[in-house]
A and B are shown apart, each in its own frame.
Chain A
Amino acid sequence: DAMVIQNPRYQVTQFGKPVTLSCSQTLNHNVMYWYQQKSSQAPKLLFHYYDKDFNNEADTPDNFQSRRPNTSFCFLDIRSPGLGDAAMYLCATSGTGYGYEQYFGPGTRLTVT
């Protein structure tokens, strides 16, 4: 089945130690999104790609970076995680253009110790 896959499902990192979360998709969608979701809150968009065109949200901290080496894969790099970065990170994909629904992966729960 076509899907969005995120690895790992759970990640524990130390304060200040860089961490990379990965996302892959078999839907062949051009658009990929990274969201941060904290407990009992709505998903917050960090950035998204239209193909290789990177779009950063204005309030996304510089500590968060992303790479998309090809259509199928996308990575979220947190350069120096702080305690406030502990959250669920969701990857999603959609078709190009507005109005398409998003397909989400299961998320990566990040714990910062």
Chain B
Amino acid sequence: AQKVTQAQTEISVVEKEDVTLDCVYETRDTTYYLFWYKQPPSGELVFLIRRNSFDEQNEISGRYSWNFQKSTSSFNFTITASQVVDSAVYFCALSEKNNAGKSTFGDGTTLTVKP
């Protein structure tokens, strides 16, 4: 069975601070994908990044970076120099090859960036 844990329910930072959102997953499958989605107050989930289980390279996209470590089953997300517009709920999700491609979502982390 697949499971995603986002231990941080809420995080509050001041603008320009760096912040890391943690994601830990459980799977018995050797082939899987991990995702991060952003859900701003408007409600629409927006895809941010996808990583497959065979690619542990970290990725950077502007102020966003992702650290995938299979050894610790973690896929953490860091926002550098946070901005008020980063305020949202962030979901980590896991999709196993043997689970018909369905995604299991973590409970989300609510990030508040204060000016």
Contact = CB atoms under 8 A, between A and B. Distances in A.
A74 interface: no
B105 A43 contact: yes
Interface string A77-106: 000000000001010101001111111111
A101 B43 contact: no
Given A31-B101, A42-B107, A98 B42 contact: no
A112 interface: no
Interface size bracket, A side: 20 to 34
A22 to B, nearest CB: 16
B95 A99 contact: yes
Contacts of B99: 98
A105 B44 contact: yes
Interface in B2-42: 33, 35, 37, 42
A48 B102 contact: yes
Contact of B33 (A31, A92, A98): A98
A88 B37 CA distance: 17
A105 B42 CA distance: 11
B50 interface: yes
Given A103-B47, A104-B44, A42 B96 contact: no
Interface of B: 33, 35, 37, 42-47, 50, 52, 91, 95-97, 99-103, 105-108, 110
Interface of A: 31, 40-43, 45, 48, 55, 88, 90, 92, 94, 97-107, 109
Given A98-B100, A99-B33, 5 more contacts: A43-B45, A92-B45, A104-B45, A106-B43, A107-B43
